[in-house]
Amino acid sequence: ETIKWSNDSTLVLVGLFKRGVVEIKQVQKPTWICRINEGLAGISYAYFAPDSRSVITICNNNLKMSIWSLVNKSISQIQNPKFCKKGVSFTSNGHFMALAIKTTPNDSIGVYFLGDWSELVKFPTKCKDLSDVKWSYDNSTILVSDTPLVCALYIYTPTGELLNEIVPYEYKLG
C-alpha cells in the first residue's frame, strides 16, 4: 500500500498494511530483508525516521506509535498519537520530534529526543481540536494549527510556553 525511500536512499520500506506487515529492503543487498509485524494491533501507516535507521509504525486506531531500530533491534513506544499520517514534525537537524497526542480535555504536544526516543516535555495546547504541528525552519518554535472551523494558529517554544496566537476571525465557521 506504500513504498518509501529512506533519507539516505539506501533502504526501501514496503507497507503491507492490510496484513499488518512492513518490509524494509536494502538496495545494495537485495537478499537482506527486515520484516516488522505488529500482530493483532495491525499497522495503519509507516515511514522512516530522519536517521534512516529507524522505522516508525502507527498501529490501527492510533493506540500507539512504535519506533523500530534497524541498528540495535530495540523498540520504543509512544502511546496515543492523534493521527497516523500527520501531526508529527521533525527538526531540520533530525534531533527532535514534535508529536500531536490525544489527551483530554485538550490535545497535547510531546517533544522527543530522537537519540533514544525519550520524552523531553509534554504540554497541553489551547486548540479545540488540534489538526497539525510543524517545527519552524530554525527549530526554535513549534506551530500548532487548530481545526479549520476554529481557524487559529498557536506558536509554542519547545518547552511549551505559548508565544503567540493568530486568530484572524472568530465564529465564522471556517
The grid coordinates listed for 143 are 506551530
**How many Å apart are CA 85 and CA 126, to the nearest integer?**
22
The pLDDT tens digits of the residues spanning 24-38 come to 999 999 898 999 998
Where b means 16+ CB within 10 Å and e means fewer, 104-142 reads eeebbbbbbebeebeeeeebebebeebbbbbbeeeeebb
pLDDT value at 23 more than 60: yes
The pLDDT tens digits of the residues spanning 106-159 come to 899 999 999 999 999 999 999 989 999 999 999 999 999 998 888 899 999 999
Q: pTM for the complete prediction? A: 0.90
